[in-house]
Structure formats: C-alpha cells, structure tokens
Amino acid sequence: MKVEGCTAIVTGGNRGIGLGFVEELLDQGARCVYVGARRRADADEIAARDPERLVGVELDVTKLETVKAAAAMATDVTLVVNNAGAFEMQRLYKTDDPDACRREMEVNFFGVLNMVRAFGPIIEKNGGGGVINVLSAGGIVGVPDMGGYSPSKFAARAASDCLRAELAPLGIHVTALIVGSVDTRMAAHVTHIRKSQPRDIGKTGLWAMANKVDEHDTDPHAIAVRAALARDPGGLRASMAARLGR
C-alpha cells in the first residue's frame, strides 16, 4: 500500500511512538489521520496542529463501545496503526497488583483484536490497505521483570501471524514491528541503553508496511536482541533472568 493519500487511524496517537506515526504520516502525504486517545482532549490537542488533516477521536481500545464509535465515524480508513500499549512495571509472581498483567493483556493483545475486527471490514470496503501492530523486543524474548507486558507482546505477535493469513485474501496486509528501547514515557526508567526516537519508529514502520514486510525490527536495540537470540538463545535468556537479581 502507499502511504501518500492514505487515511489512517493511530491508537495512542497523542504521544510517544503513536505521535511519531502521526507526524510521519503527515510528512509522507497521508490524506487524513485520526488521532486516537483515551481522553478526547488529548486527541484534540494533537489534531489542532493540522485541522485540515488531523481528527481527534476518543478511543480506548479495551472498550468496545469506543472502538465501534470510532469505526462508525472513520469509515474512510485504509491503515490501522495499533500502537496503544500498557506496561504496568509489575512482575508475574511477586507483585502487589495481581491484575496488572490482565490489564496489559487487555490493551496489548485484546485491544489489537478489537481494532482489527472493527476496521477490517472498512479497509476491505475501501479497496484494501494495511494494519501495523507495534510490538516489542519483549515479544521475541521473555523479559522476566516486565510482568505481563512481555507475554502480551508474544500473544500479539502470534495474533499478527494469524491475522496476516486471514486478512491477506481481503487485500489487507499485517506488519508486526519489533521495537526496542525508544525515548518515550513508557521507557523513562531505561537508562543503560541508547534509545531511538519515536519518529524513527514511525518512519521505519511505514516503510515496512509500504513494502509488505511481515515482521520488521525497527531500531538498533531490537536488531541487537534478535541477533543475540539467534546467536545464543540460552545465554540471552540467562542474562534476562539474571536481571532479577539487580
């Protein structure tokens, strides 16, 4: 698919990687971008930057009523960017909040399904297009101190493979992005790795979609994790487990 002239909806589009996608879509000639955010005021604040091409949408991917309302309004969409994510910074076993992993799964896995199910028919009706799922290096190797985040990204990665096969006959391509550390609020606690910029992820993500790449490592950290996993899977997993002893 071509980015120029497309109509996109970006979940969590008011900041971080989502905002990076919004900015890249505008620069690459998107006709219209729906900026999704849980708070309408946050979405409208971004939309005010370019009122002719940006539209603010109140959108919580865990609430079907807001997803359906967005789909009813954004009937011209040809590209969905599933960027909204949750990271509760809890462990799976020793945790003060046992429901944290459930909330992460609701956003990072079920939220993706909610958006694809709602917008798939719209994209098909509009002649085809694409879905970009913003995943994580934590979706190709289990990170013990990421709690439910890592398992939820594993699940979303598997779902991306399944959805790609289901949607291909409808003219819809699914691209999964494996993202490392990025300079966002979610990764503010990461200090030992050089972080990429949100616009970098948006740019490489749109390139991957335009070229029908199934799964793409978006940044040096993600590439390094993939390489380490291929070179020494046991060593990488051992080093991840050792992090719990810090």
Measure the CA–CA gap between 150 and 139, rounded to whole angstroms. Answer: 6
CA distances from 21 to 74, 84, 104 (A): 18, 12, 22
Contacts of 117 (CB under 8 A, 6+ apart): none
Measure the CA–CA gap between 135 and 92, rounded to whole angstroms. Answer: 20
| 149 given a catalytic annotation | yes
Letter string b/e over residues 140-178, b meaning 16 or more CB atoms within 10 A of that residue's CB = bbebeebbbbbbbbbbbbebbeebbeebeeeebbbbbbb
Q: CB–CB of 12/37 below 8 Å?
A: yes
Ramachandran sector of residue 35 (left: φ over 0; alpha: ψ -120 to 50; beta: rest): beta
Q: Which of 21, 34, 119, 149 is catalytic?
A: 149
Residue 45, strand partner residues = none
Active-site residues: which are they?
149
